[in-house]
A = this chain, B = another copy of it.
Amino acid sequence: MKRTLGTCYYPEHWPEEIWAEDAARMKAAGLTWIRIGEFSWSKLEPTPGDLHWDWLDRAIEALGAQGLRVVLGTPTATPPRWMAERHPDMFAVTAEGQPRGFGSRRHYCFSHKGYFAESQRITRLMAERYGANPHVAAWQTDNEYGCHDTVISYSDAAQTAFRAWLAEQFDGEIDALNEAWGNMFWSMEYRSFDEIGLPNLTVTEPNPAHVLAFRRFSSDQVVAFNRAQVEIIKAHSTAPISHNYMGRITDFDHFKLGEDLEIATWDSYPLGFLEDRVGASPEEQRAYARQGDPDFQALHHDLYRAVGRGRWWVMEQQPGPVNWAPYNPAPLPGMVRLWTWEAFAHGAEAVCYFRWRQAPFAQEQMHAGLLRPDSQDAPAMQEAMDVAAELGAAADVQPAQAPVAILFDYDADWAWSTQPHGAGLSYFQLILEHYKALRRAGQTIDILPPETRDFTGYKMILAPGMMHLPEPLKEALARSEAEVLYGPRSGARDGHFSIPTSPLPPALPGLDVTVARVESLRPDMPIALKGGGAARGYLEELEGTAEVVFETSEGAAVALRAGRQTYCGGWLDAEGLDRLIATVAQAAGLELRQMPEGVRTRRTATEVFWFNHSAEPVETEVGLLPPAGVKRIAL
């Protein structure tokens, strides 16, 4: 497949006189896709019911006239000011009980029925008008669900909906809920679903079963909101529908939402992410300040390839300094090109730069675009044009199934954040550290959803930290021909966040290991492993007859193994994890190759990509890679 480029454009921000010239420049730059419309509700409907489509008709036409293909966004992330008058209680409510008001974006509660209907109404109107437009080649629902902590709302609407959701989960049997949650503890029993509140503002921590249920409910509300738009669009259009997920937003289940969409897209801001969400050390943040973390984007690429069942894009690619991180440096020259090629190496169909022209006003006036506010080319423009030229000149990228997979489970992330047990422990971080260890070892990786049952073709599967392991998954993994690495905390809870007791976790078929005790550890007290590395932050005391393959320097079992299954009871540091993965990989017959600092590689069906994320030239087995260097080697 021919990989393509695009950009995000806001015709409503600019005088209509320059639309045609903008379109011509986009075309000349080698762009294919132009996403528009997703924040334009107040211009489409300045007053309730008074629709103004004409400008959007002309904007689409101006783009289409150049052969550009439009991705049209529903504008539901930014309801106009009049919406707040129609639905004064439409806002999400913070954990402290404060409604979050008008004046920026994403100011709605997913559980509010009135706004839900408004979202359907504007989607229907838009789909009716543009469903058959030849230039509208794809759709986007809303924008960045979950960004700015907008999934979880402690509103009255959410409470009402949560009660109904619970009643459905428990078939209307309140005693079943009390039993499943252990509500006898601290006399928290309910007599009816109508007595259940939201798990905020409690004196001390609420029941973790209560919290986790609320997290699951909150995720389902996003899925339902999105599905309602998708059903309407599908009734009027055959173009594929997408949503642009945001990096490290795990408050809803992207796999579940993605089932309703043809394409998964995500918004990739490597420098902003490194500053505000990667979780890197200050030294790493300093070393990669102009390049971004070498693995964080790649992990998301692999995740969204899974969410999109193979079809995925970068919908917003950082082209320069952004406005929203604590510090907003400029990218190292060449990184915009590298980021683009890396996305393609992971199978992206398209990479779109955010945004065409830097806006001189409002919240994102400090967010770079391909053009400066005075319409001159910004530095990213040349790099985008370089990629466009390279795409034309070279063979297409053809991704393939990877030999290694990591299971990624949103539910597990909610479980860990409900009960981290030790300060700072997070499921996402655990996955990222496993992913990094594989990448340091030169691996090409697939991310798999937790519903996966067919593991054919994989040599090694990692399932760390998946706190609830459904029995069918355990059995499928035990049956698979892959080496499987579990733990820590894999299988530690049943479906309602209680500890299984007969037997204790992890209760893996074919692997006799029991977590006898769990402790969390101060960061300054690593537990050294025999042979190198250490457990940090979290350690289980393991019992069982399986073979001990890793132990502490004092001889306590840290990892046990039987058949093709290994369970590790500790959160290992990089050295420990590298060693553990090497052990499992050897059993799997996987060849590892240690990457130099900052260098990463990925294999596709037809070639091998090499990327230098460091700010210095690096000597590699495929030659000297300059800073921001990209190398393609045909197989």
A-B contacts besides A13-B184, A327-B537, A328-B422, 5 pairs, CB < 8 Å: A80-B189, A81-B189, A101-B202, A101-B203, A372-B517
Structural contact, A203 and B104, CB atoms closer than 8 A: yes
Given B82, B191, B195, B421, which contacts A366 in the complex, CB threshold below 8 Å?
B421
Q: What are 23 contact pairs spanning A and B, CB under 8 A?
A: A13-B184, A42-B183, A43-B187, A78-B186, A81-B191, A97-B98, A101-B201, A102-B202, A104-B203, A104-B204, A148-B203, A182-B361, A182-B365, A186-B363, A208-B365, A289-B521, A289-B525, A321-B519, A327-B521, A368-B517, A372-B504, A372-B516, A373-B504
CB <8 Å contact, B189 and A519: no
CB proximity to B under 8 Å, residues A102-159: 102-107, 147-148, 150
A96 to B, closest residue via Cβ:
B98
Pick from A216-224, A300-308, A495-503 the stretch touching chain B.
A495-503
Once the chains bind, are A522 and B203 in contact (CB under 8 Å)? no
Measured CB to CB, the nearest residue on chain B to A364 is B185
- Find out whether the CB atom of A103 lies under 8 angstroms from the CB atom of B199: yes
CB distance from A76 to the nearest CB of B (A): 10
Residue of B with least CB distance to A179:
B361
Say if the beta carbon of A239 comes within 8 Å of chain B: no
Q: Is the CB of A88 closer than 8 A to any CB of chain B? A: no
Contact A519–B186 (Cβ < 8 Å)? no
Please tell me if the beta carbons of B327 and A423 are within 8 angstroms of each other in the complex: yes
Interface residue? A41 (CB, 8 A)? yes
- For residue A41, which residue of chain B has the nearest CB? B187
Query: A66 interface residue, CB < 8 Å from B?
Result: no
Q: Does A419 contact B (CB under 8 A)?
A: yes
CB-defined contacts of A469 to chain B, threshold 8 Å: none
| Nearest CB of B to A374, in Å | 5
Nearest CB of B to A548, in Å = 19
- Asked if A613 lies at the interface with its beta carbon under 8 angstroms from chain B, I say no
**A39 in contact with B361 (CB, 8 Å):** no
* A423 to B, closest residue via Cβ: B326
Q: Which 8 A-B pairs have the closest CB atoms?
A: A182-B361, A185-B362, A42-B187, A360-B499, A103-B202, A78-B187, A182-B362, A326-B423
A521 to B329, CA, bound (A): 5
Alpha-carbon distance A378/B282, docked complex (angstroms): 40
- Find chain B residues with CB under 8 A from A450 CB: none
Task: Check if B498 sits within 8 Å of A203, measured CB to CB.
Answer: no
Interface residues in A189-237 by Cβ distance below 8 A to B read 189-191, 195, 197, 199-210
CB <8 Å contact, B321 and A517: yes
How many identical subunits does the complex contain? Answer: 3
- With A203-B106, A374-B504, A524-B286: A359-B323 Cβ-Cβ less than 8 Å: no
Q: A96-B98, A203-B92, A423-B326 are in contact. Are A103 and B187 (CB under 8 A)?
A: no
Q: Which residue of B98, B501, B521 contacts A374 across the interface (Cβ within 8 Å)? A: B501
A520 in the interface (beta carbon within 8 A): yes
Contact B521 A205 (CB under 8 A): no
How near does chain B come to A430, taking the closest CB pair, in angstroms?
17
A89 to chain B, nearest CB (A): 14
In contact, B360 and A498 (Cβ under 8 angstroms):
yes
The answer to whether B187 touches A79, judged by C-beta atoms less than 8 angstroms apart, is yes
Q: Hey, what's the 0/1 contact readout for A417-430 against B, CB within 8 Å counting as 1? A: 00101110000000
A46 interfacial by beta-carbon distance below 8 Å: yes
- The 8 Å CB contact of A363, one of B79, B103, B185, is B185
**CB of A473 within 8 Å of the partner chain:** no
- Contact A362:B330 (CB < 8 A) given known A202-B104, A519-B321: no
The answer to the question of A442 belonging to the interface, with a C-beta cut-off of 8 Å to chain B, is: no
**What are the residues of chain B within 8 A of A503 when measuring CB–CB?**
374
Partner of A181, one of B96, B99, B362: B362
Task: Determine if A75 and B187 form an interchain contact, defined as CB atoms under 8 angstroms apart.
Answer: yes
CA A208 to CA B366, docked complex, whole Å:
11
The minimal Cβ–Cβ distance linking A282 to chain B, given in whole angstroms, is 7
Whether, in the assembled complex, A40 has its beta carbon less than 8 Å from a beta carbon of chain B, the answer is yes
In the bound complex, residues from chain B placing their C-beta under 8 Å from that of A78 are 186-188
Query: Is A320 in the interface zone, CB < 8 Å from B?
Result: yes
Q: Taking the complex as formed, is A238 at the interface, i.e. its CB lies under 8 A from any CB of chain B?
A: no
**A541: interface (CB < 8 Å):** yes
Give Cα A82–Cα B200 distance, bound, in whole angstroms: 18
**A334 part of interface (Cβ distance < 8 Å):** no
Q: Is the CB of B190 within 8 A of A361?
A: no
The CA of A166 and the CA of B566, in the complex, are separated in Å by 67
Cα A295 to Cα B431 with chains together (Å):
41
Q: Does A292 contact B (CB under 8 A)?
A: no
Partner of A362, one of B81, B92, B106, B186: B186
A309 to B206, CA, bound (A): 37
Q: Which residue of B lies closest to A516 (CB)?
A: B372
Closest to A189 in B: B42
Within 519-562 of A, Cβ neighbours of B (below 8 Å) are at 519-522, 524-525, 537, 541
CA distance A423 to B326 in the complex (A): 5
Q: Is the CB of A329 within 8 A of B519?
A: yes
Return A497 CB to nearest CB of chain B, in Å.
8
Please, how many angstroms separate the alpha-carbon atoms of A47 and B195 in the complex?
Answer: 13
Contact assessment for A498 and B13 in the assembled complex, using a CB-CB cutoff below 8 Å: no
Q: Mark A370-382, 1 if CB is under 8 A from B, else 0.
A: 0011101011000
A368-B518 Cα distance, complex, nearest whole Å: 9
